[in-house]
Amino acid sequence: MKPKKILVACGGAVATSTVAAECIRQLCARHGISADVQQCRIPELTTNLQGADLIVTTAKVAQDYGVPLVHGIAFISGVNVEATEAKILGFLSPA
Amino acid sequence: MELDPRLLLPHLAIASQEDLFAHVARLLRDLGFVGATYHEALLAREAVFPTGLAVPAGGVALPHTDASHVRRDALAVVTLIRPILFAPMGGDAADEPVAVTTVLFLVVSDPSRQVDSLSRTVHAIQSDDFLLRLQAAETPAGLHAVLTNQLGLSRPTAPSPDTHTHPKE
């Protein structure tokens, strides 16, 4: 099966998206999901959208990219991590 | 990631985010960790992508900039006597602010080489114990001990001078 393409976006692809991307890679590995996790900045989302299955962001996003979007603040704050993980898995698992 | 004791500022009395950023940016620049554009970039980034986090043990903020403004990786840690308001990460100025008492400036020039220390830092702030210990530390050495214990960060490779040069506010 084609790996799921997951875009992890924050303000500068420096700190929060680095940590969130690592959490998502581990989450996918734990659940046997083949995933291509890519980091980018919020403004770069539009150019990286091609083939994306999911966007996870740690910043406020108003735009609709036509791809499911999950807020990943939980990976940074540690609050509600399970709920965020469940939401991500829900978008990645075959229906 | 360097843990220079001169960047560890316990129990600072500072009234606003602007003053805090000015103070830390000047310190980082004087010590050669960042370039001249860092301060502006820090303010601009925080305005658009705020970093306040409400964690169980209180408010934490993780201000940072694009890698291009950084010369040497470092972690600057400030604990505050009185909380300063930050807009919440994932939100903006319209959202309810977070009252922050611990600020970790992530000074990173190449995030791909810092995945481990960034992950450890972020996981650490999720621990009540870590934040309470940081808050309790009264000296740079005290902060240093908490940070080295919990983050596994090392001292700088070059010996740092004994004279602490905190610029006057």
Contact check, Cβ <8 Å, B108/A15: yes
pLDDT at position B153 is 62
Q: Which of B91, B106, B123 sits opposite A15 (nearest CB)?
A: B106
User: For an interface test with B, which of A17, A19, A24, A79 has the most B Cβ atoms less than 10 Å from its Cβ?
Assistant: A19
Enter the CATH code of domain A4-92: 3.40.50.2300
pLDDT tens, N- to C-terminus, chain B (169 residues) = 778 999 999 999 999 999 999 999 999 999 999 999 999 999 999 998 999 999 878 899 999 998 899 999 999 999 999 999 999 998 888 899 999 999 999 998 888 788 888 888 888 998 889 999 999 999 999 999 999 988 866 555 444 444 444 444 3
Q: How many CA atoms lie within 13 A of B3 on its CB side?
A: 20
pLDDT beyond 80 at A13: no
pLDDT at position B168 is 44
Confidence category of residue A90, pLDDT binned at 50, 70, 90? very high
Helices B115-125, A16-30: crossing angle, 10 deg rounding: 90
Q: Which of A10, A22, A57 sits opposite B119 (nearest CB)?
A: A22
pLDDT at position B104 is 96
d(CA B103, CA B24): 11
Q: What is the ipTM for the molecules in this complex?
A: 0.80
> B5-151 falls under which CATH superfamily?
Mannitol-specific EII; Chain A (3.40.930.10)
Tokens of B59: 């408010």
C-alpha pair distances (Å), B105 with each of A34, B40, B128, B146: 34, 15, 19, 16
Residue A10 designated active-site: yes
Which ranges constitute the DSSP H helices of chain A?
Answer: 16-30, 45-48, 74-77, 81-92
Which positions in chain A touch B104 (Cβ < 8 Å)?
none
- Which residue of chain B has the CA closest to A81? B126
- Which residue of chain A has the CA closest to B45? A11
Q: What is the pTM of this model?
A: 0.85
Mean pLDDT of A14-41: 92
pLDDT at position B151 is 80
Would an 8 Å CB–CB cutoff place A46 in contact with chain B? no
Contact A65, B96 (CB under 8 A): no
pLDDT at position B110 is 84
Query: For residue range B71-116, what is the model confidence (pLDDT) as tens digits?
Result: 999 999 999 999 999 999 988 888 999 999 999 999 988 887 888 8
Confidence category of residue A59, pLDDT binned at 50, 70, 90? confident
Which positions in chain A touch B53 (Cβ < 8 Å)?
73, 76-77
Please name which of A5, A3, A92, A90 lies closest in space to residue A48, comparing C-alpha atoms: A5
Contact check, Cβ <8 Å, B118/A15: yes
pLDDT at position B161 is 45
What region does A75 belong to: left with phi over 0, alpha with psi -120 to 50, or beta?
A: alpha
pLDDT beyond 90 at A37: yes
Q: Mind telling me how many Å the CA of B9 is from chain A's nearest CA?
A: 21
Please name which of B20, B39, B19 lies closest in space to residue B29, comparing C-alpha atoms: B39
Q: Mind telling me how many Å the CA of A93 is from chain B's nearest CA?
A: 25
